[in-house]
Amino acid sequence: MTRKQPASPPRAVTGPQPGYWRLQDAKARFSEVVRRAHSDGPQHVTMHGRDAVVILDAADFRRLQGGQTGQVLIDALQASPSPDLDLTVSRCAMPVRDVVL
């Protein structure tokens, strides 16, 4: 005699979302993932159903990263509520030990 399994409610079948790749698919079709990052925008790679990494065009990455000129730090220091604060750093000589080779 076999037992009947209780009927499970039907699940909505949804296809993969555009721009989302399971890790194993992204590995197998990496060239396509890169091409789509260039043409369609960021490509999300998921592991166990959760975002793991995002692959994006190098130009987009540079734009998001911003220029590394130090201007942000300069602006933050100039906007300080204590502009008269002395931030000079005094350097002391590092102790040096003799090494026998």
Q: What pLDDT, in 10s, does the model give residues 55-88?
A: 999 999 988 887 677 787 888 888 888 777 777 7
What does the domain layout of the chain look like in residue ranges?
20-67
The SS3 assignment for 53 reads strand
pLDDT for 66 equals: 75
Question: Which distant-in-sequence residues (6+ apart) come within 8 Å of 43 by Cβ?
Answer: 19, 20, 21, 26, 33, 36, 37, 54, 55, 56
Q: What's the CA gap between 10 and 94, in Å, rounded?
A: 71
What is the DSSP pairing of strand 43-47 with strand 50-55?
Answer: antiparallel
- The most confident of 39-48, 66-75, 91-100, by mean pLDDT: 39-48
Radius of gyration of the chain (CA): 27
* Over residues 34-59, mean pLDDT: 95
pTM greater than the 0.85 cutoff: no
Provide the CATH number for the domain formed by 20-67 in this structure. Answer: 3.40.1620.10
